[in-house]
Structure 1
Amino acid sequence: MSGFLPDEPNAEVRVSPNFGPRRDTPRPDMIVLHYTGMGTGAGAEAWLCDPASEVSSHYLVHEDGRVVQMVRESDRAWHAGKSSWFGRTDINSCSVGIEIVNPGHSLGYPGFPKRQINAVIGLCLGIVGRHSIPSHRVLAHSDVAPGRKIDPGEKFPWRALFEAGVGHLVPAAPIRRSAVLKAGDAGTDVEALQSMLTLYGYGVEITGGFDRQTEIVVEAFQRHFRPRRVDGVADSSTIRTLQRLLASVTVIAAK
């Protein structure tokens, strides 16, 4: 017995008991992408449907491209944990969570198969269409929970999604020898960096001091938008890529 009809027409259904009503919002306006970080897809699927785990997601995408829906999009799945974006801390209530089967960094972190990514793209396009989700609100778990989470990681092919019409991306500025902002620095340049990260949505306090939280957020930004080097150092490539993203969001909003 399936329990509900899937929102995504081609999805299988396996109901998770780990969900509740959305709070203060009638529908999602964000997609959060995760990797499972477990040895097998079957194990991850079972865990997300186990009441003892107290975790779930709306969807699970297996390596062979199979899509399993576990929670209705109208309901609040328990996937994001402690997280924030634009100051909002109940990310579960405003998002659709998609778990992508991949063992993750602690278990070798292989690449994502093409058929799996094609399934993720198709799934995201459906969700975006059903809920009018803006491109810049298709995010990584590491974006909304920097430091605590690093998934889906620097190997995740955000460009393939973007080229298919999912998510927000700009060409990363070239990595060159340049002056950098790093841990321990302070001043107006650090304050400007923190302000830009905050304007994009990241949770970082604007203090003018390059503290550990700023370093963690820079790493999260790099992991998504400048994955060739993830080191928490704000070089010119990182800063220019962030400036391009903000300019691009302004253009999108003006249309």
Structure 2
Amino acid sequence: MDEPNALWMPSPNFFPGRSGQVPRWLIVHGTAGFESAQAVGVFFQTMEVATHYTIGRDGVIVQSVRESDAAWGNGGVTEGHDPWWSRDLNPNLLTISIEHVKPSRDNSDDLTEIQRAISFQLIKRICTRHAIPQRRADADGGITGHFSMDPVNRHFCPGPYPWEDLFRYLNQSRHT
């Protein structure tokens, strides 16, 4: 496992070795259903989808795919995507993905306080491990939501997320 505090629930749904690519973006997701990170972990073991991590509403972190591999979490790139995504290169090869358990099917739930704190900390550690820019995504990498590559089918993913607070946290933690 890459994250020492995570519960390891391995999924078979990944691309081994990232086909020589390295992660440059971190993608934030919302589960659009489910009650726990463990339930999502079981889902990722049985369905043809997975992200690297899931953070439960209780702060539990489940890791389903190693960071050195590409999880099957982002799907395809659709019309209206941010300009740095290409339909010629699978975005999963370039990303690390984190799900946040949101029981509502439309991802309308806010994060719980513990989920928010764990999310910020996990994002910081992943970005540090992989030299992913700790800022809003652009062509050189960074952090964004699933909506960035699939505004047609995933415009609601991750739903409400405290973006400004995340970037403030990342900026402050770099200077302390």
Q: TM-score, normalised by structure 2?
A: 0.82
Q: Which amino acid aligns with 1:160?
A: D
Cα distance change on mapping 1:9 and 1:39 into 2, 3 Å: closer
Deviations 1:20-73 (A, max 9, x none): 221241x211100101111322432211121xx110010010111111111100
Q: Which amino acid aligns with 2:150?
A: A
> Residues 14-29 of structure 1: matches in 2 within 5 Å?
14-21=9-16, 22-25=18-21, 27-29=22-24
Aligned to 1:78: 72
Aligned to 1:103: 103
User: C-alpha displacement at 1:88, in angstroms?
Assistant: 2.3
Measured in 2, the distance between the counterparts of 1:124 and 1:11 equals 13
Among the aligned pairs, what percent are the same residue?
32
> Is 2:29 the partner of 1:34?
yes
Aligned to 2:174: none
Could you tell me which runs of 5 or more consecutive residues in structure 2 were left unpaired when the two chains were aligned.
172-176
Measured in 2, the distance between the counterparts of 1:130 and 1:39 equals 29
User: C-alpha displacement at 1:105, in angstroms?
Assistant: 4.7
Aligned to 1:43: 39
Aligned to 1:55: 49
| Number of aligned positions between the proteins | 156
Measured in 1, the distance between the counterparts of 2:167 and 2:53 equals 20
Q: CA RMSD, aligned part only?
A: 1.7
Q: Which amino acid aligns with 1:45?
A: G
Deviations 1:169-196 (A, max 9, x none): xxxxxxxxxxxxxxxxxxxxxxxxxxxx
> Residues 1-255 of structure 1: matches in 2 within 5 Å?
6-21=1-16, 22-25=18-21, 27-41=22-36, 42-50=38-46, 53-83=47-77, 85=82, 86-89=84-87, 90-106=90-106, 109-134=108-133, 135=135, 136=137, 137-149=142-154, 150-153=156-159, 155-165=160-170
The 8 Å contact of residues 11 and 66 in structure 1, kept in 2 or not, is answered as yes
Higher relative contact order (CA 8 A, sep 6+): 2
Structure (1 or 2) with the greater strand fraction = 2
Ranges of 4+ aligned residues in structure 1 off by more than 3 Å: 104-107
Deviations 1:80-120 (A, max 9, x none): 0012651423110000010110024537x222101001101
Q: TM-score, normalised by structure 1?
A: 0.58
Q: Secondary structure at the match of 2:70?
A: strand
Q: Which moved more, 1:92-101 or 1:16-25?
A: 16-25
The 8 Å contact of residues 15 and 70 in structure 2, kept in 1 or not, is answered as yes
Structure (1 or 2) with the greater helix fraction = 1
